[in-house]
Structure 1
Amino acid sequence: MTTGVERLFDELGHFNRFQACLYFAAIFQAISCGIHYLASVFLVETPTFLCDGPSNITHVLYKNHSSSSLEEIWTHYKPGDGPVVVQTSKGDQWELSPCSKALRLNVINFQYDFFGNKTMESCGSFLYDHSEVEQSIVTDWDLVCEKEWLAKLTQPTFMLGVLIGALVFGDAADRIGRRPILMATSLCQFIFGVTAAFTENYYLFVVMRFLLAMVSSGYLVVVFVYVTEFTGIKVRTWTSMHVHAAFAVGIMVVALVGYLVRVWWIYQIILTLSTSPFLLYCWKFPETPFYLMAKGQYKEAQELLDTMAYFNSLPSTLKVSQLKDENDRALLKDTKKHLETEKRLSILDMFGSLKMAGRSATCWAIWFIGSLGYYVFSLGSVNLGGNQYINLFLAGAVEIPSYLIGCFAMDRVGRKKTCAPALLLAGVACILIIVLPQDNDLLAIFLSMTGKFAIAIAFGLIYLYTCELYPTIIRSLAVGSGSMMCRVGSVVAPFCVYLADIWIYLPQLIVGILAFIIGILTMLLPETLGEPLTSTLEEAEALGSKPYTKNAAVDRLEMKQSIKA
């Protein structure tokens, strides 16, 4: 029989009507996190462009193609394969390239090839092919050539905001509560999202996106805690892991809206408004029972339990005083052990022995490659060939079955036996993309989606696996440090995607090699399926080598604490 605060789920249901309504309402707004994280794929899309020529053009030549206007030549033009030659009504001839233009001197005939003298000039403005992209921030603010780095800085800046937001709002949620943070971050997502659409310069746009990243990350971090504190231990793995599925739906929304809307500021507004109905009911969200009990708000906690019982059609017999007494007794049994080990709460204890050092390094590596691979596969899906909108949609859709299969596998064959093969599969898929025929877009897309499927399993699993690999005294520290490595991976990911400019498959090569090596290292970790949570470093080091027993009440209490962490 579960004791302490966890017992409320035995009495009121682990995932009954009240929790189900609250869960789906909360993760609905998590869709917006997936939307804003990936929105830049089309916000900063760079269409084919040329240095703008004179206004009085009468003839245009490109290779063997001729026309009377530049707009008619886009279907034939290939960047890097020679300039476009134009002639004005005055007889002047110009060679237009993406980042420069040249005035031909002493011309006689209007022909494509010219071997005479030219006067080079820089571009004052640019001409864009609007057949695919009507407006992006690149076309509005000419973020090409010497300003190209500004466009490429947009996504890394966003990811930096994600890192900072996770730190700021994660701590704030522990101080002032989960409910106010969910409400504040949701409202700010709407405000910053709409404001970004109406910015008139690049720098203000980046600031708005940075703030949007902070609040989106804050919501995503806190909603994980919120839903796990409202669901029982029997379904907690499924409910926490499937928050990722809502994020994946957000990626699919980006692909759909990007296909339908080719003007960036309208696209941004529609994406922001897509989850705005959440603002109409989020103020009705209750605070979690765990937070109310931890802060001594017993009257509010009792009212919440009575409400849960009413909505779940159960008798309201559970009293907060009973839960408090049971919780205090369970904590008292373990107080001496925690007082003895409290002084050792340091990140150095994660590396206190050779075994723990290897375990910590491997866990950090899994966190890093999980995030790096996830965003490289997502952001890079538009570079695979074929239809970029379908590619991005598939990159989101493939995640949903990955979480279903991942949850099933981790509870049947084990954490290690699910995580390691997933990383190895991601590595193999990346390598196959490179070695197989490169003119087959469908094969490249299939292998990329296989890699995304596999990396999503490992990425979703590592949260719980890390909790189970470390003892109570450093469990929060282990998850927190791992999460930092995850954020580092997300910041590095856009730069990795940009390496496709050097070689289109270089990002896959990097992710593939790292995933394969880390997958092999993961096989050296202990299996935690069916093992009780550990309290001391000695017990943690013994994982996988010898069985041990401990108080069931304390074990249940620690499971609750580990999931919250």
Structure 2
Amino acid sequence: MFILSGLFCIPTDWHVLIITFMNAKVESWCARPEQLSDMPVSTWKQLSGQVNQTCQIKNIDWDAVTNETDISGEFGMKDCTKWEYDDSQFQSTIIGDFDLVCGRDVLIDFAQTIYFVGMIFGVLTFGILADILGRKSVLIILLLFACLTGTITSQMPNFTMFAISRVVNAFFIIGIFETHFTYCIELVGGKWSTIIGMGMEYFWVIGWLILALLGYLIRSWRSLTLLISLPSLSAVFMIWLLPESPRWLIAKGKLDQAEKILREAAIMNGKPLPDEWKLKPVKDFENTKKTTIFDLFRTRNMRGKILILYYNFFVTAFLYYGLIFNIGDLGGDVFVNFAASGFLEFPAYGAAIFVLMKCGRRIPYGTSLILSGLFLLSVSFVPRGVYYKDWPCMVLALIGKTCVTFAFGALFVYAAELVPTEIRTSAIGSASFLGRIGGTIAPWVGKLSIYHPYLPVTIFGVNALIAGLVSFLLPETQGQELPYTIEESEKLELASLIAPSILKPAKSTQPMEQEMIEFNNIPEKVEENEEDNLSCYSGDSALSQKVCS
């Protein structure tokens, strides 16, 4: 289910990353009059006064000029009204289609910023809907709307309509990421929470590399946008191919549906469940008040944990996207650079899976942020202009980005284990809401370099250090079963910066979940429950102990 759902969601990565090819930098110049359209561009620039700039031309009646006209005298300058663009590398970009040059170039950064604005509204909206309507249902709807809005975006005639369609597209796209993550993390337990939670990031990287190839083959942003949108239509097949999250069904008291899914999964794995096996409600639904996201703020313990998560989501997104947007041009081919940036994600996520399984969550996560901050702050000690293309600065920044990539992936796993199933998507969505705000302002931080070249990297580094230190207050979750209710989440108490437990992962007082929800390791032995005379699985399954009586 993890792989199948991941394949359906790969196309959604492309909507976020395609901005690299949409707004790729292309050379521009004031358009030649029709009668001079055959004149070489270099000659036209020299003739019209565009040697040092391409926003103004000589103030003469160009419609009356021919190849034989002498215009070698002194003339004033006037602003261009039309431009031409170099199409040797890209057939079309939004820069060329919407004339985002000569004063309108600020709209290039704006196009990226407003995409994050759409994400800001989407993360909270669909997090709540997924907790109410279910993971699978919301995921299918979001994928279909991603197809629709992406297709519409590819046909927009002007920048205003393009910007609006991109905001709407982002609104749906971010909901896919949050809902899919929650869906997959709820299919597993124990060590699989780390493997699946971090393994999901590889779908992001695979999508990144596929887009590098598609971008190389298709040089028109409109054709590329249309192509990446259509695959999401396949989401309709998820209706028959994917089950709803059993954990969500159990948390909502829909035990019959959950039992049916678990029995089918057990049969697929060759270990059918006995007829007398039954699920047990995790709470009294008739007499229990409905849990909402506001319950995360009721007690000091939960309030402290969620606020720390909020700040860390803001900082990790702020750092991740800030470094992507402001790390500087590596030079060379744009397609090679794009693919290389994707490949750099592989070692970070691979290391995260290994380290999180061996060392827990809290120490590796906090340490990765602190290391990122130290590497970024080290950039300010490297003198500019001394080394070839300032390569030491680039190396330090790339190492810092790798640490942030590690932290970003680990944070989603960590957060999912700290909040209850009944509002997990809402909680992660609200935290990601803050993260998208960080991503929104990140591109503009780089512009502070006009005041001091090291100001942006200093801001990124300081925030990384603070977030890393504060994260040590969160409890360790390695070996703990995923909490179903707010009361179970409450048992994971805030830690102390000087507590001995900070040196090693906390030992679970309950057995670790050993199996994926498909029951890969379902125990074969059944024993009688002496108290209720109902069958229940023996063994190490925390899920079995939770839902059996």
Same fold (TM over 0.5): yes
Partner SS, residue 191 of structure 2: coil
Kept in 1: contact 2:17–2:208 (CA 8 A): yes
Alignment of 1:379-528 (within 5 A): 379-380=325-326, 383-432=329-378, 435=382, 437=386, 439-440=388-389, 446-466=395-415, 479=428, 481-497=430-446, 507-522=456-471
Task: Check if 1:69 corresponds to 2:40.
Answer: yes
Listed one character per residue, the Cα deviations across residues 499-543 of structure 1 (whole Å, up to 9, x for unaligned) are 578888764443234324433554566655567888586972456
Alignment of 1:38-187 (within 5 A): 38-57=17-36, 69-70=40-41, 84-86=45-47, 97-103=53-59, 118-187=75-144
Q: Identify if the C-alpha distance between structure 1 residues 430 and 384 changes in structure 2 by more than 3 Å, giving closer, same or farther.
A: farther
Q: Identify if the C-alpha distance between structure 1 residues 57 and 529 changes in structure 2 by more than 3 Å, giving closer, same or farther.
A: same
Alignment of 1:212-361 (within 5 A): 212-273=169-230, 277=234, 279-281=236-238, 283-317=240-274, 322-324=278-280, 327-328=281-282, 331=283, 345=295, 347=297, 349-350=299-300
Q: Is 427-436 or 24-33 further displaced after alignment?
A: 427-436
TM-score normalised by structure 1 residue count? 0.74
Task: Check if 1:378 corresponds to 2:378.
Answer: no
Kept in 2: contact 1:157–1:206 (CA 8 A): yes
The percent identity for this pair of structures is 25
Partner SS, residue 323 of structure 1: coil
Structure 2: distance between partners of 1:31 and 1:95: 45
Kept in 1: contact 2:50–2:56 (CA 8 A): no
Kept in 2: contact 1:194–1:269 (CA 8 A): yes
Structure 1: distance between partners of 2:212 and 2:509: 50
Q: Identify if the C-alpha distance between structure 1 residues 423 and 553 changes in structure 2 by more than 3 Å, giving closer, same or farther.
A: closer
Residue 136 of structure 1 and its aligned partner are, at CA, apart by 0.5
Kept in 2: contact 1:438–1:444 (CA 8 A): no
Q: Is 236-245 or 442-451 further displaced after alignment?
A: 442-451
Task: Check if 1:208 corresponds to 2:148.
Answer: no
Q: Identify if the C-alpha distance between structure 1 residues 498 and 45 changes in structure 2 by more than 3 Å, giving closer, same or farther.
A: farther
Residue 200 of structure 1 and its aligned partner are, at CA, apart by 1.8
Kept in 2: contact 1:430–1:447 (CA 8 A): yes
Residue 176 of structure 1 and its aligned partner are, at CA, apart by 1.7
Residue 265 of structure 1 and its aligned partner are, at CA, apart by 0.8
Kept in 2: contact 1:376–1:496 (CA 8 A): yes
Q: Is 530-539 or 510-519 further displaced after alignment?
A: 530-539
Q: Identify if the C-alpha distance between structure 1 residues 133 and 498 changes in structure 2 by more than 3 Å, giving closer, same or farther.
A: farther
Task: Check if 1:26 corresponds to 2:5.
Answer: yes
Structure 1: distance between partners of 2:410 and 2:366: 11
Residue 174 of structure 1 and its aligned partner are, at CA, apart by 1.7
Kept in 1: contact 2:123–2:433 (CA 8 A): no
Kept in 1: contact 2:377–2:457 (CA 8 A): yes
TM-score normalised by structure 2 residue count? 0.76
Q: Identify if the C-alpha distance between structure 1 residues 168 and 72 changes in structure 2 by more than 3 Å, giving closer, same or farther.
A: farther
Kept in 2: contact 1:185–1:216 (CA 8 A): yes
Kept in 1: contact 2:479–2:507 (CA 8 A): no
Partner SS, residue 156 of structure 2: coil
Q: Identify if the C-alpha distance between structure 1 residues 557 and 165 changes in structure 2 by more than 3 Å, giving closer, same or farther.
A: farther
Structure 2: distance between partners of 1:509 and 1:102: 44
Listed one character per residue, the Cα deviations across residues 53-93 of structure 1 (whole Å, up to 9, x for unaligned) are 4444599xxxxxxxx521578xxxxxxxxxx4316xxxxx7
Residue 124 of structure 1 and its aligned partner are, at CA, apart by 0.9
Structure 1: distance between partners of 2:491 and 2:258: 37
Q: How many residues are treated as equivalent by the alignment?
A: 496
Q: Identify if the C-alpha distance between structure 1 residues 161 and 195 changes in structure 2 by more than 3 Å, giving closer, same or farther.
A: same
Q: Identify if the C-alpha distance between structure 1 residues 374 and 58 changes in structure 2 by more than 3 Å, giving closer, same or farther.
A: closer
Structure 1: distance between partners of 2:215 and 2:195: 31
Listed one character per residue, the Cα deviations across residues 86-144 of structure 1 (whole Å, up to 9, x for unaligned) are 16xxxxx7778332223389xxxx9xxx9x85423121111222223321011011122
Q: Identify if the C-alpha distance between structure 1 residues 286 and 342 changes in structure 2 by more than 3 Å, giving closer, same or farther.
A: closer
Q: Unaligned regions of 5+ residues in structure 1, if any?
A: 1-21, 60-67, 74-83, 88-92, 561-565
Listed one character per residue, the Cα deviations across residues 376-400 of structure 1 (whole Å, up to 9, x for unaligned) are 2334467333333222222222222
Q: Is 290-299 or 163-172 further displaced after alignment?
A: 290-299
Structure 1: distance between partners of 2:52 and 2:166: 34
Kept in 1: contact 2:478–2:508 (CA 8 A): no
Structure 2: distance between partners of 1:306 and 1:471: 24
1:16 alignment counterpart:
none
Structure 2: distance between partners of 1:256 and 1:236: 31
Structure 2: distance between partners of 1:421 and 1:550: 22
Letter in 2 for 1:212: N
| Alignment root-mean-square deviation, CA | 4.3
Kept in 1: contact 2:123–2:429 (CA 8 A): no
Q: Unaligned regions of 5+ residues in structure 2, if any?
A: 62-67, 514-539, 545-549
Q: Identify if the C-alpha distance between structure 1 residues 440 and 346 changes in structure 2 by more than 3 Å, giving closer, same or farther.
A: same
Q: Identify if the C-alpha distance between structure 1 residues 406 and 425 changes in structure 2 by more than 3 Å, giving closer, same or farther.
A: same
Residue 404 of structure 1 and its aligned partner are, at CA, apart by 2.1
Q: Identify if the C-alpha distance between structure 1 residues 71 and 135 changes in structure 2 by more than 3 Å, giving closer, same or farther.
A: farther
Q: Is 180-189 or 393-402 further displaced after alignment?
A: 393-402
Q: Identify if the C-alpha distance between structure 1 residues 557 and 166 changes in structure 2 by more than 3 Å, giving closer, same or farther.
A: farther
Q: Is 296-305 or 241-250 further displaced after alignment?
A: 296-305
1:62 alignment counterpart:
none
Residue 189 of structure 1 and its aligned partner are, at CA, apart by 1.5
Structure 2: distance between partners of 1:55 and 1:410: 64
1:10 alignment counterpart:
none
Residue 25 of structure 1 and its aligned partner are, at CA, apart by 0.9
Kept in 2: contact 1:500–1:507 (CA 8 A): yes
Kept in 1: contact 2:255–2:279 (CA 8 A): no
Kept in 2: contact 1:71–1:129 (CA 8 A): no
Q: Identify if the C-alpha distance between structure 1 residues 382 and 276 changes in structure 2 by more than 3 Å, giving closer, same or farther.
A: farther
Residue 476 of structure 1 and its aligned partner are, at CA, apart by 8.3
